[in-house]
Amino acid sequence: MPKKIILEIAERVEFLQREHSKSKGLLKKDRIKTLLYIKEGKFHFQSDIGKKLGRSEKTIRGWLQQYLNDGYLSLVEVKSGGNNTKTISEKAQFFIAEKVNNKNTTITSYVELQLLIEEELGEKVFYGALYSHCRRNYKTKLKVARKSHHKKDETDEELFKKL
């Protein structure tokens, strides 16, 4: 048998309803809704709240534990977003912009641009970061033309051409 929720919610029902209606984001709304269900006495088990919200019982248990330990403000603060640190310095960004926007540039590939940054600025930039930065900011499509076949014989090609 599931364990009954024995938790006193300090916030008033009106406050929780107002916060729920003006909050943005499904995760934040579900966290406030969990507190509302408990405060109003609609559900007495974590599994029932989880089923109603489409969340696991473990998730609901974690939210209630967080509320119990750190309070309401900690519960409604959503900290998802990942690591968004910049990997390309501003100096390198200006260098890239200068090279990419120059019409007389001889750069034909991202690898060549990567090597130029390493030689001239002394900075190591990862290929994936450089590729996505150039595609996102400058809409570049640096490509190297390749031979159609590296073992092609020019004399054999003449046989197939029309005169």
Give CA–CA dist 152/146, Å, rounded: 13
pLDDT of residue 144: 60
pLDDT higher than threshold 80 for residue 85: no
With a cut of 90, say whether residue 147 has pLDDT above it: no
Angstrom distance (rounded) from CA 77 to CA 17: 17
Please state which of the ranges 5-9, 46-50, 123-127 shows the lowest mean pLDDT: 5-9
pLDDT of residue 29: 95
Q: Percent of the chain having pLDDT more than 90? A: 57
Q: Is residue 156 pLDDT above 80, yes or no?
A: no
Q: Is the pLDDT reported for residue 52 higher than 90?
A: yes
More confident of the two residues 81 and 75 = 75
pLDDT of res. 119: 94
Average pLDDT (24-50) is 93
pLDDT at 7: 86
Q: Assign 3-state DSSP to the chain and report helix, strand, coil percentages, each to 5.
A: 60, 0, 40
Question: Confidence class of residue 146 from pLDDT cuts 50, 70 and 90?
Answer: low
